[in-house]
Amino acid sequence: MDIQTLTYLFVGGSFALYIGIAIWSRAGSTKDFYVAGGGVSPIANGAATAADWMSAASFISMAGIIAYSGYDASVYLMGWTGGYVLLAMLLAPYLRKFGKFTVPDFIGDRYYSSVARTVAVVCVIFVSFTYVAGQMRGTGIVFARFLEVNVNTGVVIGMAIVFFYAVLGGMKGITYTQVAQYCVLIFAFLVPAVFLSIMMTGHVLPQTGFGATVLDAAGGDSGVYLLHKLDQVVTDLGFTEYTEGSKSTIDVFFITAALMCGTAGLPHVIVRFFTVPRVKDARISAGWALFFIALLYTSAPAVGAFARLNLIDTVNETQYSELPEWFYNWENSGLIGWVDKNDDGAVQMRAGSPFEGKPTYAGSREETKGSYGERVLTNVPTNNTSEVYIDRDIIVLANPEIGNLPGWVIALVAAGGVAAALSTAAGLLLVISSAISHDLLKKTLMPDINEKQELMAARGAAVVAIVIAGYFGINPPGFVAQVVAFAFGLAAASFFPVILMGIFYKRMNKEGAIAGMLVGLIFTFSYIVFFKFVSPELNTAEHWWLGVSPEGIGTLGMVLNFVVAFSVSRVTAPPPEHIQHIVEDIRIPRGAGEASAH
């Protein structure tokens, strides 16, 4: 059976499974829609949390960043995994004991203010839309290659799928769908990783293969460590040494901190801990989620290294006419490009970008063939010798083909990529819809609407959110993991300080919370927009404030939030006595008690 047919079977079968689960677990009340009725088991919630948290950035893009950036990509591994530990240990049990549906709900009640709730809703929308743009982009990339459509059409297909099971099932449908999606995505990530580890190092576990010696052509031990060989290969081609970083220490610190604290402030992950019956179950599900997450994150460095070495061995110095079929397939999707700068017909992989930005094609391969049959490009600079553009977001998806693995593995990875992107997209869209229907309408603007009207508003808001998310997926501000990093920075700068101080600082009041959130969000958002959209030509280390990149500026925004919030709270009236008693109570989460969700 050919790869295309297998892909249709695997992806189509997984879609049928997700939609069937959504129908079976359709939400019948607002409690079902927002927190799955509060009755999900800790193991199921742990798997759903892992799928919700391990987005397209984790499955599709992170290993691609590691493949290209090497040591510099460690910020994503440290930041995202460390952030989840921070969330599980420091925030989740206390928020569960407080017992509210959403993050704005917590902020509105803890800070006894509809203004604070509204500001939190605005922060949720900014963070979630930035995050979901990366997920829709990831969906489009998967479909672009494996369903042989362009990226924009792939985004539209993803929108339709998410619309069906997120709008219909709400959190109840999404939770059980995400359990299935976790099983698909982790199997899809680990199977090719194990295959490649055995083929390249003889080790079954990619985690140990990453630090092992590579096999020679005869299958024997070459005595050369994988990372040493990779260092030599990339430096010979003019790239930075794989195990040495180019980022400054301060930028590494700021990006890692932004990702950590951003993880702890992500509204779509926090709401997961409201779906279990008890505070004790929130702790248990956090532990299970960490285990499920670790399976992928400890394998990702090996997958990135295997992919980079295989890619260079397969493509570099190869005649274009002799390249494997996967190269031409990805070229048709617009995510790979080649231009022959020295007219020798051979592909040269060198340091530097062969194109101005991403490749722009004059037309399809049939309409504009080059002298060797390649697609003709229109934006080719002549200031370097690099001839190949490969979108880093395709590395994991192309990895099984690059490694010449069986067709069913390639199809499985396609299904896993879709599962990763759609699971997080659905969770984010639900957070957006619940923030609008529950926090903005029910709690602020239209308190008299009944439950049926609120549920309809939630579904309507989800539809609008899907359309906007699709637009950002078609017009993304960067590659998937970079876009997601911006979302984490916004979450760190807006939510993390007010949630942390809302739990551990009784004197924190509404004036401080509102001022801190606004300052953190506006500063971080403005910095990112300036360097990414207003003046992208200045987006270099010499122009960054204190040497901090847009990916790491959320840490500085977070510090400003803390300082402003603390300072304002000290010069304004303390919170009411009953609020201070609530803060004292939620800091002692008695695991046996069941928290109210009302």
pLDDT (tens digit, 9 = 90+) per residue, 341-360? 888 888 888 877 666 656 67
Lowest mean pLDDT among 15-29, 114-128, 334-348, 560-574: 15-29
What is the pLDDT confidence band of residue 597, given thresholds at 50, 70 and 90? very low
What is the pLDDT confidence band of residue 497, given thresholds at 50, 70 and 90? very high
**Do 492 and 555 meet the contact criterion of CB atoms below 8 Å apart?**
yes
Calculate ∠ Cα 345-351-354, nearest 5°.
55
Percent of the chain whose pLDDT exceeds 90: 18
pLDDT tens digits, one per residue of 299-314 = 999 999 998 998 888 8
d(CA 98, CA 295): 31
For residues 327-333, average pLDDT: 82
The answer for residues whose C-beta is within 8 angstroms of residue 228's C-beta and 6 or more apart is: none
pLDDT tens digits, one per residue of 502-556 = 999 999 999 999 999 999 999 999 998 898 878 888 888 888 998 899 989 999 9
As given in the structure block, the two tokens for residue 139 are 């969906």
Q: Which residues pair with 346 in a beta bridge?
A: 319
Specify the pTM: 0.78
**Mean pLDDT, all residues of the chain:** 80
Secondary structure (3-state) at 41: coil
Lowest mean pLDDT among 118-132, 448-462, 476-490, 516-530: 476-490
| Other residues' Cβ atoms within 10 Å of the Cβ of residue 367 | 10
Alpha-helical (H) ranges within 99-150 are: 103-110, 114-146
Q: So what's the pLDDT on residue 333? A: 75
What is the pLDDT confidence band of residue 594, given thresholds at 50, 70 and 90? very low
Secondary structure (3-state) at 312: helix
For residues 397-425, average pLDDT: 80
**Do 135 and 55 meet the contact criterion of CB atoms below 8 Å apart?**
yes
Report whether pLDDT(178) > 80: no
Query: How long is the chain?
Result: 598
d(CA 34, CA 53): 17
Report whether pLDDT(267) > 60: yes
Lowest mean pLDDT among 14-18, 23-27, 88-92: 23-27
Residue 377's φ and ψ, nearest 5 degrees, are -105, 155
Q: So what's the pLDDT on residue 598? A: 40
Secondary structure (3-state) at 574: coil
| Other residues' Cβ atoms within 10 Å of the Cβ of residue 398 | 25
Q: So what's the pLDDT on residue 557? A: 95
Q: So what's the pLDDT on residue 592? A: 40
Report whether pLDDT(166) > 70: no
What does the domain layout of the chain look like in residue ranges?
13-305+406-476
